[in-house]
Structures are given as C-alpha cells and as structure tokens.
C-alpha cells in the first residue's frame, strides 16, 4: 500500500463547460457537447461530428498560439482558486506531468500545410504543450509528458503522484489534454471507429465512438502539505498495464485492463468490495464495452452488479489524452455533490453489458472510494483508485 496523495484542486476545459461548475452542471443536465466540427474541413470524412470547443477561454498575455497549450493553460488557471498558495510556494519544487495521445500534432498539420512556420513545427513535438504549461505556471521542477494513447491522463496522474511520494517534487500539476484536428479525425475515419449515431456506451445499439477535445488538470501534493487548505480528494492508487496482444484492438479477455485494475487496488490497499462507484472507459465501441463489463465482473466479484458504473463519453466525445483526467475529476465531484452523473446515450442496455450503468438520470449517492478505468491503442490500460471528500 502506498501513501495517498492529496488532490487539492482541479481545472477543466471541455466542450460542455470551461470550468468545474459548468462541467458538472452539464453532466447532470445532459448538456450536449457533440456538434458539427467547424474549425477544419470534414466534408470528405464519413463522420464530421465531435466534441469541439467552439470558443476557447481568453488566452493569458503572451500565450502560445498552439491550441493544445491554450487548453492546458486555461485548465491550469482554475487550479489557482483552490491551490494558489501551493502553486506559488517554490517554483523549483513544482513539477508538471501531462498525458496526451496526440501531442502537438495539430501544429505539425498547420506547419506542413504551409499555414505556419518552422517554430510552429517545433510545437508538433509531443512534449511542447507541457513545456508551455510549465512556462505559464512558472514551474522549474521536472516537466514530463507521458503518452499511453487514450489512457494518458490516468498515467499522468499516477506518475505525478509518484513524483510527490518520492519527494522529487512537492507539488505536481498533472492531467491530460488533446485537441481535435484533421489528423485524428481522418485516422479514426479510416478505421471506421466513429459512429454516425450518438455515442451509446453499453447500449445494445452502440456503433462506435466520437472524438472530443479538452483538458483536465489536478493539483497534487503530500497530505501534510495540503492539510491546511481545501481539497477535492485523494489519489490512493494507480497502475498501468499492457495488453501485449494487438496494435489497435483491446485484448478480447481484457488482460491489461484487469491487471491495471487489480494492481491499482493493491497499491491503494483497497479491497474490491470497498469500491462505491466506477467511472468506466465506456467508449461505446462494440468490443470495448463488452470486454470492460467482463473485466469489471471478474475484479469486483459478487458485488459487481450492485456498484454504479458510468461513462461520460456520450456528453462530449472521447477526449483521448484528456479523458481519464476528466473522468477522475468527475469522480471527485460526484463524491463532493452526492450525485453520480448518468451514462449519457444509454437507452437500451445491451444484455451482455449487464452492470448498473446508471442510465438516463443522475443517481443520488455519495461514493467515497472510486475506481476509474482507461484504455487505448497499443494495448495501453490504466486505472486509478480515488477517494472523495
């Protein structure tokens, strides 16, 4: 069992809200984040829908033009309200760990199309947005970028917590981001992984996912350092696991996902019977949702059918590197407000996905110990165990 790490504050920028209050409100009221993409051409693609942020928050002075960096900086600005004192304490002991599936590829797209110069191309390096975030925060500690595809946000929180536990940093800004761009839309289009319908996690009619963009960040600190101020919760455990089975598809038996869940619970010192709520990856692809259901049944055992499980991808699309961080933040907000947001888009449950997937309406409940699961291309899987306050 590892020492818990305090989650002091959080910040989000999403298609359904550009701060925690708006994000949470939309999760409860079913705010629609899926729209026709307007920022780049999609007419030649089979699917032109996505969770696009139509207008970014105002950029700080001298902010980089890079959209990914602007998302991160906007999410980080909200951290100051709960964690301003910790953020300002010692820049040399402030670290940044962000996860991304795409890095700055949108910048590369612009530069190679001749719409921007060579400096912009340097922004296409996957670690550039994290560097811009660190610069914006004035952080002089380690700056890490991790990329475990769509599990990146969870990996970042896990690695960030380890920096705190091991004393490499006192305070860590950790989370994930990704932006919609033609590159990724074209890629998923070629794979025929996008639905022409809505995202319907765990539904009998589910036919694929839609992509979204966003950023979610949390402020991590040692328990004793956070004791005096407000906090959202605690990160109890994290683990990542590799499927080692296929370059794109999840392992049909969920090998890596199960490994990550069990290892995260072990690190947290939490028994499966103690889990009150699960935030599932829930992409609404036929295979993912079935595999995830089966793994949850094996890991949670006899209580599996009693534990509420949701997926929030129906609200705003699969935000890739941001998804796991946003879902972790959603868990903490659920604990704080005593409500579990429903699985938006789930109307006709698939008999093969027979857990309590919280359909249609918010559920009054005050979960304390929560499990959040993620998976991505290349057999990347990651799980977080969180405690709300």
Partner 1 sequence: MKVAGVGVITGWGRGVEALPADAAATAGGRYVVAIPRPAPPGDRLRRATRECLLGIGAVEELLQTVARPASELAGPGTALLYVTASAYGAANRAFLGARGGTLHFPYTAPSAVPAEVAIEYGLCGAYVNFIGGAAATVDALWYAGSLLERGACTQALVLAVETFAECADLYRRARWLAAGPLVEAAACALLRPGGRRAEYDPDPVGVDAARRRTGQTFACEPLIALAVAGGDPAAVAGRWRGRRAGLRRL
Would you count residue 237 as binding partner 1 (CB under 8 A)? no
244/301 with CB nearer partner 1 = 244
Q: How many helices (H) and strands (E) does the chain have?
A: 12, 14
Would you count residue 288 as binding partner 1 (CB under 8 A)? no
CB of 19 to partner 1, least distance (A): 28
- Whose tokens are 């729209």? That residue is 35
CB of 343 to partner 1, least distance (A): 26
Q: Which range, of 78-86, 188-196, 283-291, 334-342, touches partner 1 by CB under 8 A?
A: 188-196
337 counts as catalytic: no
The helix, strand and coil proportions of the chain, stated in percent and rounded to the nearest 5, come to 40, 25, 40
Q: Which range, of 39-47, 219-227, 256-264, 358-366, touches partner 1 by CB under 8 A?
A: 256-264
Would you count residue 192 as binding partner 1 (CB under 8 A)? no
Beta partners for residue 370, in sequence order? 277, 386
Q: Within its chain, how far is the Cα of 162 from the centroid?
A: 18
Contact with partner 1 (CB under 8 A) among 216, 317, 379, 388: 379
CA distance 120 to 183: 16
Instruction: Give 321's DSSP letter.
Output: G
Q: Which range, of 67-75, 330-338, 346-354, 375-383, touches partner 1 by CB under 8 A?
A: 375-383
Would you count residue 246 as binding partner 1 (CB under 8 A)? yes
CB of 241 to partner 1, least distance (A): 6
281 counts as catalytic: yes
Does residue 378 sit in helix, strand or coil?
A: helix
Would you count residue 109 as binding partner 1 (CB under 8 A)? yes
Instruction: List the interface residues with partner 1, window 57-96 (CB under 8 A).
Output: 92
CB of 247 to partner 1, least distance (A): 5
Return all residues near 144 (Cβ < 8 A) that are at least 6 apart: 95, 96, 97, 98, 130, 156, 159, 163
Q: Which range, of 59-67, 140-148, 194-202, 269-277, touches partner 1 by CB under 8 A?
A: 140-148
User: Which phi and psi (to 5°) does residue 197 adopt?
Assistant: -95, -155
Closest CA to 330 of 292, 377, 367, 297: 367
- Could you tell me if 338 and 310 are in contact, meaning their C-beta atoms sit under 8 angstroms apart? no
Angle between helices 286-300 and 255-268 (to 10 degrees): 40
Would you count residue 53 as binding partner 1 (CB under 8 A)? no
Closest CA to 295 of 320, 272, 319: 272
CB of 339 to partner 1, least distance (A): 33
Would you count residue 376 as binding partner 1 (CB under 8 A)? yes
CB of 255 to partner 1, least distance (A): 6
- Whose tokens are 């918010």? That residue is 362
Tokens of 265: 């619970």
Closest CA to 315 of 25, 10, 56: 25
318 counts as catalytic: yes
Given the residues 66, 238, 318, 353, select the one marked as catalytic: 318
Would you count residue 202 as binding partner 1 (CB under 8 A)? no
Beta partners for residue 359, in sequence order? 343
Q: Which residues bind partner 1 (CB under 8 A)?
A: 2, 92, 100-101, 103, 105, 108-109, 112, 118, 121-122, 124-127, 131, 141-149, 155, 159, 162, 166, 168, 183, 186-188, 190-191, 239-248, 255-256, 259, 263, 267, 376-381
Catalytic residues: 150, 281, 318
């Amino acid at each position: 069992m590892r020492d818990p790490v305090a989650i002091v504050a959080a910040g989000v920028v999403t298609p359904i809200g550009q701060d925690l209050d708006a994000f949470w409100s939309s999760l409860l009221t079913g705010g629609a984040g899926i729209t026709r993409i307007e920022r780049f051409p999609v007419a030649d693609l089979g699917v032109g829908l996505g969770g696009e942020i139509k207008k970014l928050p105002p950029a700080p002075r001298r902010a980089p033009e890079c959209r990914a960096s602007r998302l991160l900086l906007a999410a980080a600005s909200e951290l100051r309200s709960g964690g301003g004192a910790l953020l300002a304490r010692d820049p040399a002991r402030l670290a940044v760990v962000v996860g991304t599936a795409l890095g700055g590829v949108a910048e590369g797209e612009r530069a190679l199309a001749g719409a921007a110069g060579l400096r912009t191309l340097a922004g296409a390096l996957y670690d550039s947005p994290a560097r811009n975030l660190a610069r914006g925060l004035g952080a002089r500690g380690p700056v890490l970028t991790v990329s475990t595809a769509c599990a990146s946000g969870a990996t970042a929180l896990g690695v960030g917590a380890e920096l705190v536990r091991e004393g490499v940093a006192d305070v860590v800004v950790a989370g994930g981001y990704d932006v919609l761009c033609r590159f990724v839309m074209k890629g998923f289009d070629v794979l025929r992984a996008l639905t022409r319908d809505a995202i319907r996690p765990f539904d009998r009619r589910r036919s694929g996912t839609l992509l979204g963009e966003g950023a979610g960040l949390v402020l991590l600190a040692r328990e004793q350092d956070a004791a005096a101020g407000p906090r959202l919760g605690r990160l109890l455990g994290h683990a990542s696991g590799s499927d080692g089975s296929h370059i794109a598809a999840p392992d049909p038996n969920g090998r890596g996902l199960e490994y990550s869940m069990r290892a995260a619970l072990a690190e947290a010192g939490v028994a499966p019977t103690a889990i009150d709520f699960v935030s599932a990856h829930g992409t609404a692809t036929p295979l993912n949702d079935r595999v995830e259901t089966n793994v949850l049944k094996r890991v949670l055992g006899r209580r599996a059918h009693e534990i509420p499980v949701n997926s929030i991808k129906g609200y705003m699309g699969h935000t890739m590197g941001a998804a796991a961080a946003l879902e972790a933040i959603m868990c903490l907000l659920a604990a704080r407000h005593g409500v579990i947001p429903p699985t938006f888009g789930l109307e006709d449950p698939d008999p093969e996905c027979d857990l309590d997937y919280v359909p249609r309406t918010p559920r009054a409940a005050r979960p304390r110990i929560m499990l959040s699961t993620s998976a991505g291309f290349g057999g990347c899987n990651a799980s977080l165990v969180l405690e709300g306050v």
